[in-house]
Structure 1
């Protein structure tokens, strides 16, 4: 149902002209693919904001959305050169992340609760009347906000659907249908630890998602789920949908860290993102394996290359934008069974290009924006100037008959051929196995379950029992377990063994814990394989055997930990080394890599109840000395502290007395703060801009670092390899933030609060208000970190006492942190942070 907004959301005149700009050739300043020219065609002014979304109208003009402001139309210059004209559109909708022009209408994905547009997050549409704009209409209100909310829109190849992409903080709207069967759960065999910094602690499946709907706002359907923070997606010429999902950088160094990934988003896709330690390994076949892992980064825009006046391979590429590492990747797709293999190419890259979105223009050029988070924003153009042919290529239709049939069955289960579904549960192709399982789960009942026992193909039995557990775990528990127990273990391939263990785990998770007899039978079936020569199999055997409290599992696991080889370098070393400033912090972690293998085994061992054998618990605790000496992401230290505490908690009373000193890591003495000369003042944004505009070149970086510590910035913010983790990492400010942007963030910290760092406001029935970070959620209490400088200061609040709970609108960062500094000290601090 559409809502027409009156009053503040009234239609107006078309535009007002804000600025014009000349074209500047910037090819020599950045890494650009051979044969292409990079031009900067507009410096976005302060009044125009910071652009994060782009689209093109039917006249070849671009439309941009400011993350915290309004909409702008850009008339681009001819490819031969000229001026860029920017017009502010009189459309009273602001806070858009994504924008799409489609059939004479402008669709806007409003995600930010800015002052001009409070509480109106969702998908908006406004019609271009020719001489002005119609009244904006809310097609669908969606609860969202922050940088993990709703983002971008994509038109389907047949022009019948619009696809909406959302991160894990976007609340799933009411649906008319769901291609992933509505049976999703967290599915953790061992108790999950939530993020040690409290991020996404309340976010469970389906997490990030992709939906589709009709252009009139009707018929909303869930297409894909289980993602962290996919910002955008695109349809390849072959008709298949690809998206670019985010990593959780705070997990860096942990065994459950997942790099940014390219996803082939087949209907019913489950990507297995779960909060905290609960992320599924990519070898779990109740999820879809990414077609490409890229590495650390911040995914933003994704665009298909069709229409690009460039050589054929670039027309048929998908382009994926990484904001953090300032890179546009060209992804070259090659059919690989029912899915694709991907070769990535750095198409455009370089410091100072925090890329946000891109479009292929009607003139055959690529246009992209840089900016975001109120940072300095620009508009750019890429033109092919080489000598290779650029004639438009026909659509690269790569029809895979079985995949296409199974995809249709997932979308429309009434049309399904049950025999084809059953056959492909046992396919040698992982994508077909997943689609067959997804189709099976869409059937109206589970009358098919007994037929799984009649099948001899191990994959059919494994995937079928997965579906049985997920669809009706309690009803089919005994049959599913019998099917698995009757399946020969030794003859299974590595991938089959991994998923036999996953399926058995799902049977216990969904159907109920094993009886003593069942526990002993499962142990007897798999116990002789532990340890094996395969790292991933050892990981899953340890998980299952620790869950089953298998005899001797502690001793064997400790032996594996002692004998494990050193961690191999991550495959994205070239990425972080390419840009020494952006990659410095990650590079330092990689030089001093945490022992992820041992961390995984300790994570499993925390589930084994005491008593352990003589000396075993001491050997486990001894590992923490090395682990805690290594570096990881922001959540590394609290995650390790939780595992340490849980190993202690699972001891007997005698063991707890013996190891009481090992329950927590040794406390570190506080560091003395450098002195401040002053005198300070109550700095305003205008005063900071004036002082810093006098020049930051040649300032004393050592004094700047000292002021970073003296102003308590380092208590919460990491810069390079030093600092805390309660607030955003400031290492990458250079090239993205101006002195004015930084002044706004310091003096008015509540103006923009990232959902990763926001506090929660809890009001209890007695009228008391508590503001802090939710660090742990237990059945009856919430554990709240109340001091932004030290989350070790905690209180507990009973759930029964809570009247309301909501995100705090006040930043945990105090607004006067620089007021002790004199002008010279302030300039040293800004030069240090901005890399001058």
Structure 2
């Protein structure tokens, strides 16, 4: 099923069914009788285990326990959920004494999800009987998860227990794989291990993908111990490095490739990174900030930044100036010039296409697949003609006659919070008692005439580039 819609078009809900003839031949991927029997048996076993999910039942633990060590992840998961539904007092001792690696870690995961904080010393002691040196990667990751959940759900361990856990984790950090280093860095930095800061910075410097770098930057931002002036300089120097051209995680590339697109950052990534940097700066003691010089004052580099070039007025364009150009195929357009026009006309300050641009206005990455060139141009030339409700400003008329216009970002019975300057992220809180009237604005926050610094050919190139969705940013 799928839905079609768009500005000025009729919406539709469609359901597609195959109505052709079926073939008598057996598909190559259809399970053979023996495999089908195995699948049927596994399905029946899973259903039997799922019967214990609803609550305590007599004999459930004896049925469940052998499947905590199943090689089938689905059966193992179903067994664990069933175990969690039983009374903890009936299986806690067995979980703490289990010696099979898979069954022990699965049972301890169930224990940390159901027991109180009083079991944390016993749980961590049981984990110490499963040393990381004797576990393969799959079981190491499961042990890391149990430890993480213990700290999250049961609270900080005693200093003595924390030191034991920290010492074991440090012996593995850095690990030979990204998946292990991801969890080890989380745990060790949370445990305030001084050794974790320089080791994490080394991993940040050698991280091959954007996603890995962002992980280490995020984890290090609140680290309290282990810093030296040189390590802080290395950390804040990262924010001044461009991320353009760095490889993306292979799984991310596959997901985007399936829809014929190049990988792009999330819409809110830059805002999250701005918050990360603010938190990192706040964690620097005041007496150390002077040693970092311009690293703290220099604006950090955003991904896919398109640098604008100074422009002068060309013409006050109207829709009629393009009457013969919008509906005809015309000549091939210069997408690189259209991308540059996106910056020169200041669109990039508020709108995002791919990984380029701001988040103040609507994301235009897929605008070309939803709107015609005429609709796009009309929205550019006359932005107040059609204003989406989610992007409409609100006018507040105060009791003293003052008028304030902005985007409502939060409101309660007592206050309304306006974003009055989205570029500077300046907010203003107004008391409900001070407000005489609230009404939607009929004027778009997007100024008119932004494309008046472009030539006609550049405007057409801009429309073509918006239509492309910046599918091949590295080719521009």
Corresponding residue for 2:53?
410
Separation of aligned partners in 2, 1:50 and 1:708? 30
Given the superposition, is the C-alpha separation of residues 534 and 751 from structure 1 closer, same or farther in structure 2, using an over 3 Å criterion?
closer
1:814 aligns with 2:445: yes
Equivalent positions of 1:395-434 (< 5 A) are 398-400=40-42, 401-410=44-53, 417-434=60-77
Structure with max Cα Rg: 2
Could you say what the CA RMSD is over the residues aligned between the two structures, in angstroms?
Answer: 5.1
Corresponding residue for 2:233?
618
Separation of aligned partners in 2, 1:547 and 1:516? 13
Given the superposition, is the C-alpha separation of residues 715 and 471 from structure 1 closer, same or farther in structure 2, using an over 3 Å criterion?
same
Separation of aligned partners in 1, 2:351 and 2:81? 43
Given the superposition, is the C-alpha separation of residues 816 and 546 from structure 1 closer, same or farther in structure 2, using an over 3 Å criterion?
closer
What's the CA shift string for 1:596-637, capped at 9, x where partnerless? 434323322223214623522222223333355667614444
1:540 aligns with 2:178: no
TM-score between both structures, scaled by the size of structure 2: 0.69
TM-score between both structures, scaled by the size of structure 1: 0.42
1:750 aligns with 2:382: no
Given the superposition, is the C-alpha separation of residues 673 and 482 from structure 1 closer, same or farther in structure 2, using an over 3 Å criterion?
same
Separation of aligned partners in 1, 2:183 and 2:285? 26
Deviation for aligned residue 1:451: 2.6
Q: Which has the higher strand share?
A: 1
Deviation for aligned residue 1:409: 3.1
Equivalent positions of 1:167-246 (< 5 A) are none
Deviation for aligned residue 1:459: 2.5
Corresponding residue for 2:259?
none
Separation of aligned partners in 2, 1:829 and 1:439? 58
Separation of aligned partners in 2, 1:626 and 1:716? 22
1:712 aligns with 2:346: yes
Task: Tell me if structure 1 keeps the 8 A contact 2:52–2:82.
Answer: yes
Match of residue 794, structure 1, among 426, 433, 436: 426
Where do 5+ consecutive residues of structure 1 fail to align?
A: 1-42, 57-304, 317-331, 339-393, 568-592, 776-780
SS at match of 2:427: strand
Separation of aligned partners in 1, 2:72 and 2:25? 26
Corresponding residue for 2:10?
49
Task: Tell me if structure 2 keeps the 8 A contact 1:453–1:483.
Answer: yes
Separation of aligned partners in 1, 2:375 and 2:393? 25
Separation of aligned partners in 1, 2:37 and 2:386? 49
Separation of aligned partners in 2, 1:744 and 1:794? 30
Match of residue 373, structure 2, among 739, 761, 769: 739
Task: Tell me if structure 1 keeps the 8 A contact 2:240–2:300.
Answer: no
SS at match of 2:185: helix
Task: Tell me if structure 2 keeps the 8 A contact 1:458–1:496.
Answer: yes
Corresponding residue for 1:674?
311
Given the superposition, is the C-alpha separation of residues 533 and 438 from structure 1 closer, same or farther in structure 2, using an over 3 Å criterion?
same
Separation of aligned partners in 2, 1:811 and 1:449? 64
Given the superposition, is the C-alpha separation of residues 774 and 496 from structure 1 closer, same or farther in structure 2, using an over 3 Å criterion?
farther
Separation of aligned partners in 1, 2:108 and 2:242? 38
Task: Tell me if structure 2 keeps the 8 A contact 1:784–1:796.
Answer: yes
Separation of aligned partners in 1, 2:307 and 2:8? 44
Given the superposition, is the C-alpha separation of residues 334 and 727 from structure 1 closer, same or farther in structure 2, using an over 3 Å criterion?
farther
Separation of aligned partners in 2, 1:688 and 1:408? 70
What's the CA shift string for 1:8-57, capped at 9, x where partnerless? xxxxxxxxxxxxxxxxxxxxxxxxxxxxxxxxxxx99998713244378x
Task: Provide the aligned length of Structure 1 versus Structure 2.
Answer: 425
Given the superposition, is the C-alpha separation of residues 655 and 722 from structure 1 closer, same or farther in structure 2, using an over 3 Å criterion?
same
Given the superposition, is the C-alpha separation of residues 816 and 51 from structure 1 closer, same or farther in structure 2, using an over 3 Å criterion?
farther
Corresponding residue for 2:287?
654
Match of residue 552, structure 1, among 195, 211, 219: 195
